[in-house]
Amino acid sequence: MTTTVLEPAIHGDRVSLLRVLGPAHVWALGVGIVLVGEFTGWNFSADKGGALAALIVCWIVGLLYTSVAMIDSEVTSTVAAAGGQYAQAKHIVGPLMAFNVALFLVFAYTMLEVSDAILLGDTIVAKAGVEGLTHNSFIAATIVVLAWLNYRGVLMTLNVNFVITAIAYVSIVILFFSVSPWTQGAVLKLNELVTPGNALPYGWIGVIAAFQFGIWYYLGIEGTTQAAEEVRSPARSLPYGTMAGMITLLIAAAMTWYVCASLMPWEYLGITYYPLWDAGKLTGSPLLENLLFIATLLAALASANGCINDAARAWFSLGRDRYLPSWFSAVHPKYRTPYRSILFLLPIALAFAFIADLNQAITFSILSGVLQYTFMSINIMMFRKKWPLGTIRRGYTHPFHPLPAIVLFCLCVVTFFAIFLGFGSQLIAMTIFYFLISLWFHFYRYKFVRRGDQFTMPWPKPQGY
Amino acid sequence: MSRYTPPEQSKAGQVFDIVVVVVAIFVALWLPLKLGLAGAAKSIDALDAKTWEALGQNPTMAAIWEKLGYTPETAHDVIQNRFHYVIDWPTLIIMAAVLIGYFVFLFRASDREYRDVINEKFDDK
């Protein structure tokens, strides 16, 4: 990848983020965050509803995320500012919504980073097979080293992500073609492992319950928009990078399900932390086993790396707009990164990596993600209503509006129900948290916000105001 | 409309606000873990006969379990550990009410703030 233009982005007269990224970096950011979902997490949907349920939600949740990518591409290619959905909410719905959306982003990405670090630590411990060895030191090292990498610069961070994401992705393709996917019986035994008797062990309620972890196939692809202020051409790079990322992930998810469901019983598939690594082992090839072991580590690293990048930018945006203390809005004078935000979120990630287990951390992340997708479905309706087509210049206009928004909203409702089936109390607790922190913002913190400065796009006055 | 000038926040005020947010984050995420509220209800439906057949595993499945290092005895608790999906209607209604209430407040309060923003931004011109 080449980056020739190192032109600083201007935000007022302050030192600001660098516009150095292209579509490949956007792809690497999105897929890098998400690809770990194929290496762990998606398979818990098999535990919830059986192997066939995992496939059904792979497709249906794929539809949810295709809607997310279409909506996001339109809004973000028009509202190109750091913070992604946060900047969208600020310009379309209002400051309180923006504050909440930024918190959704920070929670979703920080807890995803925590899940990645736990996965990485557990994978190394499982491979080492040394009695008494714990994952703690590996978790701490992962989080601290990646935070340092992010501190040093976005270009280096995303170049590293591009390489390790590509290696992890290629490993899935190699595994897929190594097991002769066109023939059953030699290596793959789908017919004997997924039978009419065990395909949906809990019936259709299991399929709905599986939505909770089905989200994990793709969670985080919307993170591409966080780079809006650091890409050279937002209108081109963001839609291309995001849609290419989504296509890449749909292919990876289908291949992953097919190979894993054809190699292990659903009861085991539903509980293992390393479905692809296990698939590599079950082929009997040491080469594939080692390749998938390394790819699991790389996928976890790429995801955690991208998550630190995105969470820090969302937190930075809150500080810059004075929604949180402006101390967080500092940009490093040499590396041009939101270094205080990176450092602030570091101990929070470390703390939860040590107190939560893998599926709890994943659920924390999913909860914030689904709240955010609910917002996005309503946000696009408001965007089209306040600025109908033709009133402002859009980088990209998504087709079939309002169908993607309606599909997205309905699937979010189903996913809330799925979360209720396993983590209802957690969902209530988190929503109450968001409600209380919203009261704090609306009645106290908002007084520090400069009203007119919240709208920075060169658009006409929204219709209805 | 006159331009709103926000007050300058003192350093102590900034530190206090950071502490409030951090405490809120930890309470929201850590408390449900501490109280054991996070996690779905799974329980083991125990079987007397611990054989691959009794566990519903055909020869292909049994061979894979054995390759993974399991015996019928050790696989029993994995295979028979099942979800028991029961819809707890009062909790579901509370959850729906909390979610709807939260989003209604969010959009209404945001709209009030948004009107300030739009008025100041466009009436200045």
Q: What is the 3-state secondary structure (H, E, C) of B101-112?
A: HHHHHHHHHHHH
Higher pLDDT, A365 or B68: B68
Q: What is the mean pLDDT of chain A?
A: 89
**What global pTM score does this model have?**
0.88
Burial A169-194 (b: 16+ CB within 10 A, else e): bebbebbbebbebeeeeebbbbebbb
Q: Does B75 share its domain with B104?
A: no
Residue A245 confidence (pLDDT) above 80: yes
Bridge partners, A19 (sequence order): A7
> Which of A94, A263, A322 is closest, CB to CB, to B110?
A94
Among B29, B31, B33, B103, which would you mutate to test the A interface (most chain A Cβ atoms within 10 Å of its Cβ)? Answer: B29
Give yes or no for residue A4 having a pLDDT over 50: no
- Nearest CA to A144 out of A32, A308, A294, A17 is that of A308
Distance from CA of A374 to the nearest CA of B (A): 9
Structure token digits, residue A167: 């290696």
pLDDT score at A6: 30
Residues B50 and B28 in one domain: no
A344-356 pLDDT tens trace:
999 999 998 988 7
C-alpha atoms less than 13 angstroms from C-alpha of B72 in its C-beta half-sphere = 15
β-bridge partners, A11:
A14
Token pair of B67 as six digits: 């390759």
For range A131-147, the mean pLDDT: 93
- Beta-carbon contacts of residue A438 (< 8 Å; ≥ 6 apart): A96, A99, A100, B102, B105, B106, B109
d(CA A358, CA A37): 12
Mean pLDDT along residues A76-95: 85
Name which residue leads in pLDDT, A306 or A4: A306
> Smallest Cα–Cα separation from A8: which of A336, A456, A312?
A336
Tokens describing residue A318: 């809150």
Residue B62 included in any domain = yes
Q: How far is A451 from chain B (nearest CA, A)?
A: 5
**Average pLDDT of A332-360?**
88
* B48 and B31 both lie in a single domain: no
Distance between CA atoms of residues A32 and A361, nearest Å: 18
CA distance A252 to chain B (A): 24
Tell me, yes or no, if B53 comes closer than 8 A to chain A by beta carbon. Answer: no
| Residue A2: predicted pLDDT | 32
Residues in chain A with CB shorter than 8 Å from the CB of B26 are 351
pLDDT in tens, A183-227: 888 899 999 999 999 999 999 999 999 999 999 889 888 878 777
Residues B47 and B75 in one domain: yes
pLDDT at A103 over 80: yes
Q: Are A349 and A121 in contact (CB under 8 A)?
A: no
From A205, A426, A433, residue closest to B24, measured CB to CB: A433
Domains: count for chain B? 3
pLDDT for residue B37: 65
Residue B52 lies in a domain: yes
| B46 & B78 share domain | yes
B92 within domain boundaries: yes
Per-residue pLDDT band at A306 (split at 50, 70, 90): confident
Q: Is there a single domain that holds both residue B91 and residue B63?
A: no
Which residues of chain B fall short of a pLDDT of 50? none
User: Is residue B1, in this structure, part of any structural domain at all?
Assistant: no
Structure tokens at A241: 């990078």
Find out whether A223 and A30 touch, Cβ atoms under 8 Å: yes
End-to-end CA distance of chain A: give it in Å, rounded.
45
Assess B122–A contact: CB distance below 8 Å, yes or no.
yes
Per-residue tokens: A50: 């059986």
pLDDT of residue A230: 76
Whether residue B46 lies within 8 A of chain A, CB to CB, comes out as no
DSSP code, position A392:
S
Tell whether B119 is covered by a domain.
yes
- Of chain A, the percentage scoring pLDDT greater than 90 comes to 58
Residues of B (26-45) whose Cβ lies below 8 Å from A:
26-33, 37-40
Residue in the structure block whose two tokens are 């109450």: A432
DSSP annotation of A227 reads G
Domain of B27 in residue numbering reads as 9-39
Write out pLDDT tens, residues A11-49.
444 455 667 777 888 888 888 888 999 999 999 999 999
Q: Measured between alpha carbons, how far is A29 from A26 in angstroms, rounded to an integer?
A: 5
- pLDDT of A254 reads 94
Most confident of A14-18, A286-290, A364-368: A286-290
B30 is a domain residue: yes
User: Which CATH number does A23-313+339-442 carry?
Assistant: 1.20.1740.10
